[in-house]
Amino acid sequence: MAHTNMVYSAHGTLGRCSSDYPESTGSAEVTTFGEETLIENDIDGMSSVWIKFQEQGISGEVLQIIKQSWRESTRSQYAGFIKKWTSFCSERDIRFLHPTLNDILEFLLMLHKKNLSYSCINTARSALSCFVKIDGIDVGKHPLVSRFMKGIFQIKPTKSRYNEIWDVNVVFDYIRNMENNELLSLKKLTLKTVTLMALISSQRIQSIHNICLSNMCVDESKYVFYLGKIKQSRPNCKSLYMTLEKFPSEEKLCIFHSLTEYLKCTDGLRNGCDKVFISFLKPHKQVSKSTIARWIKTFLGSAGIDIKTFSAHSTRAASSSAAKRNGVPVGEILKRAGWSSEKTFLKFYNLNIVKNN
């Protein structure tokens, strides 16, 4: 991977595009009630967590490291429920850092009465477990809270999003009828390339969004991307890579050929952007995960897939289900898609394939 003759180099110098979000410059209002301080207009939604650690004498520098243990997506998920919790406590004059067990159960019951799903209520339980303990244990692990959540599951069990999945051959046939890559507009080439990449790699939109030219190696038969920090990343886990190999028997379906043409067309448009996928509209800046998802969904719709039913993420189930039906060993599917458990694949992604989309 470190061989210099394999590392991609565009004409000119390519700099990194920062994917970090700027820190908020807003302010928070502090209200005191009971024996505790409640943060209103909370900037990141998780000030209750930080206050709890500060109560324990944790220094600011240590706290900054602890904050990084929650990924941005997790903090975003938790923030909404923590704000609901602080609002719930404010209305009832509850000590939001030191509630009773009954306070916790009443809060979860309130969420259930608002018709939230088991998954949402379980996320709220996890959020509260960050800073609330009952009888010396994290609130989410309390036997009665666990029993309550089992009851919620019996009332509103979780369901797989899809019971059936579309046939990848519908999309492949659509691609076969397209013009050659060299004749496609930049928009069509972009949408085709990103959709092919999603199908060939079985990776999440996050992974496709993350790939950078500086973390790309290429030789005459394949591209290899280091994915960096993604959802599957965890301690004691091997670094994750996306490998895109040449498919010489059908050039129109070959992700290697499509990506090569895409990089050639965007070479002079990047203005130093390191992300692989950039906007096909001026000023050709790097795009967000939601934009990549919209591109894939648009392409699937053009191919005849019911995009009212299926999201861009459905490419993960469609490609892995098709691989399983065509005799690819489950171990290879898990490795390619980044699953550590066969149970996860078989339960949520190995779906019945239907021709009628």
Same domain for 231 and 96: no
CATH of the domain at 117: 1.10.150.130
Residue 194 in domain: yes
Residue reference for tokens 């909404």 = 80
Same domain for 170 and 53: no
**Dist. CA 46–CA 80, nearest whole Å:** 9
Name 31's bridge partners. Answer: 38
Same domain for 58 and 137: yes
Same domain for 323 and 186: yes
* Domains identified in the chain, total number: 2
Residue 11 in domain: no
Residue 92 in domain: yes
For 339, the token pair is: 């699953």
3-state SS, residue 339: coil
Q: Could you list the residue range(s) of the whole structural domain that residue 93 is in?
A: 29-155
**Dist. CA 131–CA 60, nearest whole Å:** 17
3-state SS, residue 321: helix
Domain boundary among 111, 132, 155: 155
Same domain for 142 and 180: no
**Dist. CA 39–CA 180, nearest whole Å:** 58
**Dist. CA 320–CA 302, nearest whole Å:** 22
**Dist. CA 203–CA 233, nearest whole Å:** 13
Residue 1 in domain: no
Residue 7 in domain: no
Residue 14 in domain: no
- Give the β-pairing of 352-354 and 164-166: parallel
Domain boundary among 139, 155, 171: 155
For residue 35, the model assigns a pLDDT of 40
Same domain for 189 and 280: yes
For residue 38, the model assigns a pLDDT of 42
* Rg of the chain over all Cα atoms, to the nearest angstrom: 24
Residue 3 in domain: no
Which H or E run contains 230?
none
Same domain for 344 and 261: yes
**Dist. CA 107–CA 96, nearest whole Å:** 11
Residue 349 in domain: yes
For 27, the token pair is: 């302010």
Same domain for 304 and 189: yes
Distances (CA, A) of 166 to 201, 244, 315, 316, 324: 17, 22, 9, 11, 14
CATH of the domain at 242: 1.10.443.10
The whole-number mean pLDDT for each consecutive block of 10 residues of the chain, a chain of 357 residues, reads: 41 32 36 40 58 75 76 80 90 88 95 92 91 88 93 83 84 96 96 95 88 90 79 54 90 95 94 93 92 96 92 89 82 71 66 64
Domain boundary among 121, 137, 155: 155
Tell which residue, 6, 16, 5, 11, has the closest CA to residue 264: 11
Distances (CA, A) of 95 to 39, 108, 230, 333, 355: 13, 16, 36, 49, 56
Tell which residue, 200, 337, 180, 206, has the closest CA to residue 277: 206
Same domain for 206 and 113: no
Same domain for 286 and 176: yes
3-state SS, residue 140: helix
Same domain for 210 and 99: no
Same domain for 91 and 37: yes
